[in-house]
Amino acid sequence: MSKNTRIFRCSPEQVFEVLADGWLFPVWVVGASRMRDVDEAWPAEGSALHHSFGVWPALIDDSTTVLEWDPPRTMVIKPAGWPIGEAKVTIRVKRRGAGCVVRIDEEAVAGPGSLIPGPLLDVPLHIRNVETLRRLAYVAEGRAVPLDTLRE
């Protein structure tokens, strides 16, 4: 299982505002390329996002279903893009001072990816999720404070 952590300069509630907006999914998820639809009930448990991943012309239609929604602490989703397979992604957020710590755990649970030994699969997942957390931080922090205060 790949595990990534990043400190965000915003509140857990502001992170969950981004997660709650299904149309923003391809903005922060590496590999998601376009949105096709967002269930009206998103992000309620059992609701889904309908998106594609990859690069044209090699796009695969995918859907991501919410398994758990407990803002501002936890979101668990199941991306499913066959023939590649399915994953379980857990996002946990904990307040830390004026900001928060966001952790993303990802594991392949079905399909060809689940047959790859964990240590081998964790390397590309870890690299991808470093960027995923960076993008999520940019969006959540950008909504939280004026951008010029983020520059160091």
Residue pair 66/38 in contact (Cβ under 8 Å)? The answer is no
**More confidently predicted of 144 and 15:** 15
Least Cα distance to 2 among 113, 81, 140, 98 occurs for 113
- CA 136, CA 143: separation in Å to the nearest integer? 11
Beta strands in 17-152 (DSSP E): 32-38, 48-55, 58-70, 74-81, 85-96, 99-110
Range of the domain at 103: 2-147
Peptide bond preceding 119 in cis form (omega within 30 of 0): no
Residue 73 placed within a domain: yes
Asked if the model's pLDDT at residue 149 lies above 70, the reply is no
With respect to residue 106, please indicate whether it lies within any of the assigned structural domains: yes
Residue 147: the pLDDT is 44
Q: Is residue 152 part of a domain?
A: no
Binning pLDDT at 50, 70 and 90, where does residue 119 land? confident
pLDDT tens-digit map of 34-88: 999 999 999 999 999 999 988 888 899 999 999 999 999 999 999 997 777 899 9
Task: Give the C-alpha separation, 33 to 14, whole Å.
Answer: 23
Q: How many domains does the chain have?
A: 1
Q: Is residue 55 part of a domain?
A: yes
The proportion of the chain whose per-residue pLDDT surpasses 90, expressed as a percent, equals: 76
Per the domain annotation, does 42 fall within a domain?
A: yes
> What is the average per-residue pLDDT within 109-118?
86
What are the strands of the beta sheet with 2-8, ordered from one edge? 2-8, 99-110, 85-96, 74-81, 58-70, 48-55, 32-38
**CATH number assigned to the domain comprising residue 132:** 3.30.530.20
- pTM of the full structure: 0.90
**132 located within any domain:** yes
Going by DSSP bridges, is the β-strand pair 32-38/48-55 parallel, antiparallel, or unpaired? antiparallel
In a domain, 118, yes or no: yes
